[in-house]
Amino acid sequence: MKIQVEKLSPVEKKVTVEIEPAEVAKEIDRAYASLGRRVKLRGFRPGKAPRTVLERNFKDQVEADVVEKLVQRSFEEATKEQDLEAVAAPRVQIAEGGIGPDRPFSYTARVEVKPVIAPKDYRGLTVTRKPVEVADATVEAEIERIHQSYAEMVPLEGRDVAEAGDWAVIDYEGSVDGKVFDGGSAKGALIQAKDGNFFAGEMAVLQGRKIGDAFETEQTFPADFRDTALAGKQGKFAITLQSLRTQKIPPLDDAFAKEVGIEGVETLPALRDRMRADLEKREKRRVEAEERDALVKGALDKNDFEVPPALVERTIDAMVENTAQRLARQGVDIRQLDLDLGRIRGDMREQALLTVKAALLLEAIALAEKIEVGAQDEQEEIQRRADEMGVPPSRLQPKGEGLQALRQRIREDKVVALLAAAANYQ
């Protein structure tokens, strides 16, 4: 087999392969022998049809199968021999003349490959290190958020006319252009009497209305309304005010702190301490993530290289799929949304390109620094994740692609740790 490689760009190669006639003839013979054992032809016992008859009936099919096998096997051998790391399926063009038992078979394949990166200047990066700080006001805001989540809706006593800030229970029926639309009616809906968006549960026209009042109001659907057929249109809603409610919030005291149900938290000061600790952990992770991004960006600024388009497209595919799965968990089927997928992919392209470049550069630095990942590294990372999630490590044992992803993440973390240890912090 003859192999010739032409560099079209740092991320694309043209591979020309020529296979000797003897190997081609042998593969064709094998194909017909296999076909003869399987095929049933009128007038011939199984396995007894002459080669000439098989060629007359199945020549095109056999040659197509042989071409596919020869290309697949020889291209794999060629990439190993030439040390080419293909990142996508090759675009193959068969040479003129096709295939025959008495002549060489040749083809060309254009294939995207990983770029060869000689990383440089990744030590001594200048990075700003931010302190991990959580203000008292942030702690109090978190306490209040939890406090508000324990609020109960109870009947409003002492008056029957809605005032600003009251909560109202209403029945409504909506229509557009005189026609009721799907999902446009409800009974017992809870809405607040305040300026805002009716579709977000806020309605100023309730103020001054009395329990039992029935009235109509017009509301404009938001431009980004989930039902695109209604977006931006004017809707008319018939509303009946059924009752008024108010929020009853428990006192912010030790009893409340205990009711929150955090193990070891029995008093309000203890709850504040726990909230501060949790917020500090969250802030620490945020600061570390920013520092990691700064280190990787700094290294990328020192190392410019081309990226295989196939890797970028594959990363965009993964980003779209992750978005679809996240929406599905929220009960939204992305297939039912009128989305401009082309625009969405375009919006994701810059981030995808950065993600791919970062992964390639970190891999190159790991190779240059001989950074490896062992079984102990894997188990330590699994244990760390298990402790963080509060589950047994046995539940997080990855396999296959999951294990490869884990090893890649550990290796990248080791590279970032190296960059951090060699960085100049301000």
49 and 195 in a single domain? The answer is no
**Mean pLDDT for the stretch of residues 208-224:** 92
At 426 the pLDDT is 85
Instruction: Tell me: do 27 and 84 sit in the same domain.
Output: yes
CATH of the domain at 211: 3.10.50.40
pLDDT digits 0-9 by tens, 328-374: 888 877 777 777 788 889 999 999 999 999 999 999 999 999 999 99
Asked if residue 255 belongs to a domain, the reply is no
Q: How confident is the model at residue 160 (pLDDT cuts 50, 70, 90)?
A: very high
pLDDT tens column, 228-281: 788 889 999 999 999 999 989 999 999 999 999 999 999 999 999 999 999 999
Amino acid identity for residue 83 in this structure: D
pLDDT of residue 211: 96
- The pTM for the full model equals 0.74
pLDDT score, position 299:
97
For residue 328, the model assigns a pLDDT of 84
DSSP type of residue 70 = H
Q: Judge whether 129 lies within some domain.
A: no
- CA 380 to each of CA 37, 281, 289, 387, 409: distance values in angstroms, whole numbers, following the listed order: 55, 20, 20, 10, 13
Asked if 105 and 211 sit in the same domain, the reply is no
CATH number at residue 377: 1.10.3120.10
Residue 367: CA count within 13 A, CB half-sphere: 11
What would the pLDDT profile of 6-52 be if each residue is shown by its tens digit?
999 999 999 999 999 999 999 999 999 999 888 888 888 877 888 98
The backbone region for 343, taken as left when phi is positive above 0, alpha when psi lies in -120 to 50, beta otherwise, is alpha
Residue 348, SS3 per DSSP: helix
Q: Report the sign of the C-alpha dihedral through residues 60, 66, 69, 73, in that order.
A: negative
| Residue 138: pLDDT over 90 | yes
Do 310 and 243 fall into the same domain? no
Is the per-residue pLDDT at 111 higher than 80? Answer: yes
Q: Does 387 map to a domain? A: yes
Q: Which has the closest alpha carbon to 203: 231, 178, 170?
A: 170
pLDDT at 262 (0 to 100): 92
Whether residues 421 and 272 fall in one domain? yes
Are residues 279 and 369 located together in one domain of the fold? Answer: yes
State which of 56, 87, 112 marks the end of a domain.
112
pLDDT digits (tens, 9 = 90+) for 55-91: 899 999 999 999 999 999 999 999 999 999 999 999 9
Q: b vs e for 169-207, b when ≥16 Cβ sit within 10 Å of the residue's Cβ?
A: bbebebeeeeeebeebeeeeeebbbeeeebeeeebebbb
The tokens describing 236, both together, are 């008319």
- What are residue 234's DSSP bridge partners? 220
Residue 78 placed within a domain: yes
Burial zone of 211 (CB within 10 Å; 0-12 exposed, 13-18 middle, 19+ buried)? middle
What's the total number of domains in the chain? 3
Average pLDDT, the chain: 92
